[in-house]
Chain A
Amino acid sequence: MQEEATTLGAVDVLTPRTLEEALRLKSETPGAVPIQGGTDVMVELNFDRARPPALLNLNEVAALRGWSRTNGRVSLGAGLTYAEAMEHPLAELLPALAEAARTVGGPQIRNRGTVGGNLGTASPAGDALPPLLVAGAEVNVASVRGERTLPLHEFLVGPKRNALAEDELIVGVSVAAGAGRETFLKVGPRNAMVIAVVSLALRVVDGELLAAFGSAGPVPALVRAPLEEASSFPEQVAAAASPIDDVRGTAAYRRHALRILAGRALDRCLA
């Protein structure tokens, strides 16, 4: 039986009810792949690209859900869905994230997919990542060994690679509220349900311009400049990118589009 189960690629589904239990299970079964909405993980399973020994189903862990606001910062649970990120009043606190969430998949995907999943996958095209970067995101991770917090740009270490230790889980992410002077734009050759060919988030805060781009380098990356450099900022953003040619677009187009997106984003945020 055991051998047949292995051959069949049977996957244990571990369903903790509390964060503590989740961390204990992750520590005991480091190969367990955390799953929340499943919009990335299930694709890997269905395409036969991954056969993890176990899935760690985090849907029943209440501590990972929702969001809260303290001292000018907003804490988002790893289980916050894109649909929730588009709802009032969170959408007014973090408008760029709401705009990014609107670009993700269709309604069913936005109801299931989570910000934590986007962090876990750490794709260069992760739509939530540029808005989080410009909002000074800090990622809260935990294990049975304790908790730690690291800036998002340190958390994203490479294409589809993050800084989690094998026993750690993403608990959430905390950001500075944006109060409206921010936006997100995403280019795809289709008007909905498309992976970013290139994307850009911009925030203007305290005389500083913060832009982050997606799908234009190995990881979404942050570009900063003083407000006075607004006119050259689109060039700076395009120059900071290191795009490639792939099936979704060319490097030349990505760099060109970033320049246009940055100019339009500035017009919106400085208007």
Chain B
Amino acid sequence: MSVQLELGRVGEVVPREDGIPKVTGQFAYSSDLQAAGMLWGHTLRSPHSHARIVAIEISEAVTMPGVHAVLTHEDVPGEKLYGLEFQDQPVLAFERVRYFGEPVALVAAEHPEQARRAAERIRVAYEPLEPIVDAERATESESLHPERPTMGHGYRDDPRPNVVRSLVIRHGDPDAKGDVSVSGVYEVGIQDQAFLGPESGLAVPDGEGGVDVYVATQWLHVDRDQVAPCLGLQPEQVRIHLAGVGGAFGGREDLSMQVHGAMLALHTNRPVKVVYDRQESFVGHIHRHPAKIWAEHRATRDGKLVNVRVRILLDGGAYASSSTAVTSNAASFACGPYAVDNALIESLCVYTNNPPCGAMRGFGAVQVCFAHEAQMDKLAAELDIDPIELRLLNALGPGGSLPTGQRVTGALPVAEVIRRAAALPLPEPEELPRDPLRVPGGSGNTTRGEGVKRGVGFAVGFKNIGYSEGFDDYTAARVRLAADGNAEVHCAAAEVGQGVANVILQVARTELGTDDVTLAPHTTATVDSAGSASASRMTWMASGAVRDACRAALEERERNGGGEVDIERIYRHPRTSPLDPETGQTTGERSHVAYACAAMRVVAEVDVELGLTRVVWIGTAQDVGKAVNPQAVTGQIEGGTAQGLGLALMEEIQTRDGLITNASFTDYLIPTTLDMPPVVSELVEEAEPDAPYGAKGVGEPPTVVSTAAVVAALRAATGRDLARVPVRPDEIVGL
């Protein structure tokens, strides 16, 4: 019997169910949660970037009106430290604070204003310490973590203080000489995820000593596995439920209010809601690592890369978060998607008293792409070779190797994305005079054409899909078939705006051959882990798990001759192996699961006298494997491109002595519609052999490549080096 599907299978355009509710303000975000008898939690945070805590006095705060609880580190019921990779971060600071905004105490009160006022009456005696704010001097400074939690994890042994991870990749002959050599030093500022929905959630005690936490997050089960030990509870006593997520981009991988809300809820036996305000959100999550990168490219006279030597310094801030993986990613992709026989790559991440850094869209590949693409343009200029030809000449592809020694076995159509992006027709220059909004400076009315120059830039980049280096995570899905034919799919994959809810439904409809599929709430309560909505992995992994569970359910029903079925399946990607701690070479067949690449061409106009920019046009070709939902794919490409453009032109957390000085959307600028042009997206569909339906993740490659491509266009327009992002007007005008 053939079934007419109406709602969309794999490969079809499926509009988002939450699209209209979000643009009309009807969508319930985690900050909209309510519960009867609810209290409001507030977090007292450190005003210092580095200080010794001498004493915490709460006696006045607890007597304030409406206050139900005031908690400090002494009240943490279980483990006092947590972390994604190392347990190095206190639930609430004790002995010392290591970054500006570090949580020190909690208040629960009837009203949020009462909670804030009570927090002001908590007396914390600090003895300020000299903050370590210069990453280049961190390894010569006093250790911020004298317990050295980074030691003994199988990484290279680097005895210097404040090393989060130090990785050296030696590939081929690291001293190999070329005919020509180009060098550069590149810097990347601290970018924030700048999600619009601030950290928020609701913790509800279950009356039996356990707690339910409703929260906007990226990985429900790893939240649970960090929260439960801090509360001194068993994992099943803590249930994490996904609440409406207002953007994530890596910034919700780490815990924010989860343990704090649960502590207050369990202490007061009342539901407790915590909502950060915008200013607090800037210290409430980790950021993109600021980086300094020294690069030297050696090549033959005819443009073949001979040797790439790169030194990468990442400022991890006060706590490790996922810095070790970012350190490794930056090293893996430091040469770009090019075949390089010889390389020496040193990647170092250090602890400082700057804002903590961790996962953000692109995850180490963004910083190095900015550097390697600038280097490729420099090399093209040195050799007088067309920059696109130079990239094609060196393009990596199946059969080639990464500097880690891993051979590319799956799909990696680098040359194809370069050719497709390069073939996109560029827009003609617009006539003057024109709509005053369509010039650099936009609504500021700064030019009628004076000083405006046009430039075209190009960049290629790639990164890994999925977790790497032996971190073999998995995704579970559970399918329940009712007697009436309805199918209910359970998967804890976090819908963070990327569209995984539709992916799950599309796969289930495709596999089950029915429209009658519902997606159960994302929770730890009914299904095993889905892993993180990170690393461009969720589409691949959720597709595999849901596919396998659906097929198993159909088989089970067939075996039973009908009736109800309830079955759960675990899906795993091909296994990966760690890197050798001494050589940085892969110790098995692969350390990354797979890769995705993108090429991008950007046309920009720059007012070279004022240093203002209008990006006119962006065209990109991206390796997507298979577009499960083409509309969602182009949405990810446009959004990811905007985020990279933001880093190129304006997005930077500024600090002074470790204190954030622009913690607001007044002064931390993100692109508006006048800054972000329409994007022409070419989807290159070359099926990934290891992936379900051949689909790769698509969220990160556009961000990896767009920062580099936008700055390349600015260099072409201005003739300046522009070795730091975000590019400041001062640098364009040469001040």
Contact = CB atoms under 8 A, between A and B. Distances in A.
Contacts of A183: 445
B672 A190 contact: yes
Interface string B709-731: 00000000000000000001110
Contacts of A188: 441, 444
B443 interface: yes
B113 A7 contact: yes
What's the dominant secondary structure at chain B's contact region?
loop
A190 B66 contact: no
Nearest to B451: A260
A9 B117 contact: yes
Contacts of B450: 264, 267
Given A190-B671, A247-B661, A247-B662, A8 B111 contact: yes
A191 B445 contact: no
Interface stretch (A59-67, A113-121, A154-162, A250-258): A250-258
Contacts of A189: 612, 649-650, 669, 728-729
Given A190-B669, A253-B730, A102 B735 contact: no
Contacts of B278: 47
Contacts of B277: 46-48
B20 interface: no
A186 interface: yes
B448 A268 contact: yes
B675 A190 contact: yes
Interface string B655-667: 0000001101011
B453 to A, nearest CB: 15
B730 A252 contact: yes
B609 interface: yes
Interface in B606-645: 609-612, 614
Contacts of B64: 7
Contact of B446 (A8, A106, A264): A264
Given A46-B277, A47-B279, A191 B733 contact: no
Given A47-B277, A47-B279, A253-B733, A7 B669 contact: no
Contact of A103 (B111, B113, B444): B444
B505 to A, nearest CB: 35
B675 A191 contact: yes
Most buried by A among B446, B669, B674: B446
Nearest to B440: A191
B735 A260 contact: no
A38 interface: no
A190 B729 CA distance: 11
B611 A253 contact: yes
B47 interface: no
B654 interface: yes
A190 B609 contact: no
Given A7-B114, A8-B113, A191 B729 contact: no
A187 B441 contact: yes
A20 B97 CA distance: 54
A186 B444 contact: yes
Given A47-B279, A253-B733, A99 B445 contact: yes
Contacts, number: 117
Given A7-B64, A47-B279, A248-B667, A253 B444 contact: no
Nearest to A49: B279
B143 interface: no
B65 A4 contact: yes
A56 B116 CA distance: 25
Nearest to A186: B444
A261 interface: yes
Nearest to A194: B669
A256 B735 contact: yes
Interface in B442-468: 442-448, 450-451
A190 B650 contact: yes
A8 B114 contact: yes
Given A191-B442, A195-B666, A260-B451, A250 B730 contact: yes
A9 B728 CA distance: 41
A194 B671 CA distance: 10
A221 interface: no
A192 interface: yes
A179 interface: no
A233 interface: no
29 contacts: A7-B66, A7-B113, A7-B114, A47-B278, A47-B664, A102-B445, A103-B444, A185-B441, A186-B445, A187-B441, A187-B610, A190-B649, A190-B672, A190-B675, A191-B443, A191-B614, A191-B674, A192-B673, A194-B669, A195-B666, A247-B662, A248-B667, A253-B611, A253-B730, A256-B735, A257-B610, A260-B609, A264-B448, A264-B450
Q: Which 3 A-B pairs have the closest CB atoms?
A: A191-B442, A191-B674, A186-B444
